[in-house]
Amino acid sequence: MNMEYLPMGGSVKMVEETLKLAYGETSEFLKDKRIATVQSLSGTGACRLFADFQKRFRPDSQIYIPVPTWANHHNIWRDAQVPQRTYHYYHPETKGLDFAGLIDDIKNAPSGSFFLLHACAHNPTGVDPSEEQWKDISYQIKGKGHFAFFDMAYQGFASGDPEKDAKAIRIFLEDGHLIGISQSYAKNMGLYGQRVGCLSLLCEDEKQAVAVKSQLQQLARPMYSNPPVHGPLIVSTILGDPDLKNLWLREVKEMADRIIGMRTALRENLEKLGSPLSWEHMTNQIGMFCYSGMTPEQVDRLTNEFHIYLTRNGRISMAGVTTGNVAYLANAIHEVTKSA
């Protein structure tokens, strides 16, 4: 095993394969060397590196973050000293997307603002825009000269197809945006502890990409110097071998399909119990999490009376739901929500 340092930019092979997942196997941007990329400490590290890059080179800018979002997003941009604003995303009444509010916020944001977008399987809500909605979001962001930064922590875990899960990014690329992307292998390869990720920025040309990569490495140097070596070896070995990559794609789809199946089973169990509430949102949402709509008080009852544990905002980790416990979970949810 090679124990030497990787370059500051990380594993060239891993980065190359990772970019193919986000931008496409035959991407013209890859061929034209227009993407500045560094290996990162998973998705968190990619977001933090970008936040510091934003602060250094756009010191007067701000970042718009969806309500709600992954809690650590706020910590990351706060510690990078980037002013934060929020935009409408989740609609509590419909338990779906507040598309009108989202579009209004894009239009009303000062031109040239930065927008943090979840590429797929929004955390914590599981609510994703449709393809047509993504096209409109892209159009509105481009019209205001905003910069879109995609956090793609769950590629493959939404639909089971990494290509389909990258659709939002491809739409923005087709529309001529210069974008940033954070990628992580924590979920889709289970490499949580290896901290394997990638930060990429699409640039105007190869010359700009070289300069941007140099600056990203300058930011990384005092933070952590060099990224880890073992995780990227796993990623590049799997993605660089057609047979292993196909096996990985099949396994990712199996995992995503299982979660989708558990959503259906949980909804059907609740409906069979005669729940007075609509649970349609449970199957409309996608990814690892279900934003159930339960109140903190109802969640407390689940914990105290049924020993079922979830965050107090009602977010269920669907990965923890199995054929063996789905009926018990449905019954418990019914008990605490039937008089709502």
Residues labelled as active-site residues: 70, 151, 187
- Residues paired with residue 182 on neighbouring β-strands, in sequence order: 151, 199
Q: In the numeric block, which tokens belong to residue 92?
A: 């509590």
In whole angstroms, how far apart are CA 197 and each of 73, 226, 232? Answer: 16, 13, 8
The residues, any chain, with a CB within 8 Å of residue 289's CB and separated by 6 or more, are 121, 123, 124, 125, 126, 315, 316, 317, 318
Sign for the CA dihedral angle at 79, 80, 81, 83 comes to negative
- Asked if 233 and 213 count as a contact pair (C-beta separation under 8 A), the reply is no
Q: In the numeric block, which tokens belong to residue 35?
A: 């993407």
Sign for the CA dihedral angle at 75, 189, 118, 208 comes to positive
Q: At CA 98, angle to CA 293 and CA 131, rounded to 5?
A: 110
Cis peptide, bond prior to residue 68, ω within 30 of zero: yes
CA distance 46 to 263: 31
Strands (E), 49-109: 63-67, 84-88, 90-91, 96-97
CA distance 173 to 138: 9
Q: In the numeric block, which tokens belong to residue 287?
A: 């990814």
- Classify strands 289-291 and 315-317 as parallel, antiparallel or unpaired: antiparallel
